[in-house]
Amino acid sequence: MSKAAGNAGSEAARRVPLSMSHIGLYVHDLSRMEDFYTRVLGFTVTDRGKVRGADIVFTSWDPKDHHQVALVSGRPAELAYNHVNQISFRVGSVEDLQLIWRRVKDEPGVHDLRPMDHGNAWSLYFRDPEGNRLEVFCDTDWYVSQPCLEDLDLSQSAEAIRATSEAFCRSAPGFRPISEFRTELAKKMGLA
């Protein structure tokens, strides 16, 4: 076997770690969407301009990322179906999740709010002003077999949410601390 063929084989088997970086959304009303993502969700505009005739606004939460959400004009009005199932954002705590819930629950144009307890995460699903489904979530300390969909009352205290969720998780299939699940997953991925 030639050296080039040997390198091609080893390169084909080598895992290249990927991490999510950003998403670009075509939008109908760029100024309305920019207002929602900055005012309500707290993103910062990092740049704006034109690309191939379309207006584009870059937004981010993290100074290491030039953009995490790019909003691009030109979404066709007659497009009846959005191919994106959801866009998910992680927050650090259930208290942060509750803050987002309080911000979006009465926001004009936001609809289809669904707080869910997945056992391994607490999530708030909702539609932005143009109907894109967003998820804001935070991790819990537990793992249970997925999918897991339990109702979540974000008006409760954070302590009550944690206690209710832990009690449910302890009786759910696959329950274990999330650290054990992550160790098992790392082994499965060949990373441990």
Amino acid 12: pLDDT: 67
Amino acid 56: pLDDT: 96
Contact 176, 119 (CB under 8 A): no
Mean pLDDT score, 17-46: 91
Contact 104, 130 (CB under 8 A): no
- The CATH classification number of 82-192 equals 3.30.720.110
Question: Domain segments of the chain: what residues?
Answer: 15-78, 82-192
Contact 23, 87 (CB under 8 A): yes
Give the phi and the psi of residue 56 in degrees, each rounded to 5.
Answer: -135, 140
Please state the pTM of the whole predicted model.
0.82
Q: Report pLDDT digits (tens) over 100-150.
A: 999 999 999 999 999 999 999 999 999 999 999 999 999 999 999 999 999
Contacts 24+ apart (CB under 8 A), 31-35: 32/109, 32/129, 32/130, 33/71, 33/128, 33/129, 33/130, 34/59, 34/71
Amino acid 1: pLDDT: 60
Amino acid 41: pLDDT: 95
Is the four-CA dihedral 26, 62, 31, 56 of positive or negative sign? negative
C-alpha to C-alpha distance for 123 and 136, rounded to whole angstroms = 6
Amino acid 77: pLDDT: 81
DSSP state, residue 130: T
Please choose, from the candidates 139, 114, 133, the residue with its C-alpha nearest in 3D space to the C-alpha of residue 124.
114
Amino acid 2: pLDDT: 63
**Average pLDDT taken over every residue of the chain:** 90
Amino acid 5: pLDDT: 61
Amino acid 83: pLDDT: 75
Residue 175, pLDDT > 70, answer yes
Q: Under CATH, what is the fold of the domain 15-78?
A: 2,3-Dihydroxybiphenyl 1,2-Dioxygenase; domain 1 (3.10.180)
C-alpha to C-alpha distance for 40 and 79, rounded to whole angstroms = 26
Amino acid 88: pLDDT: 92
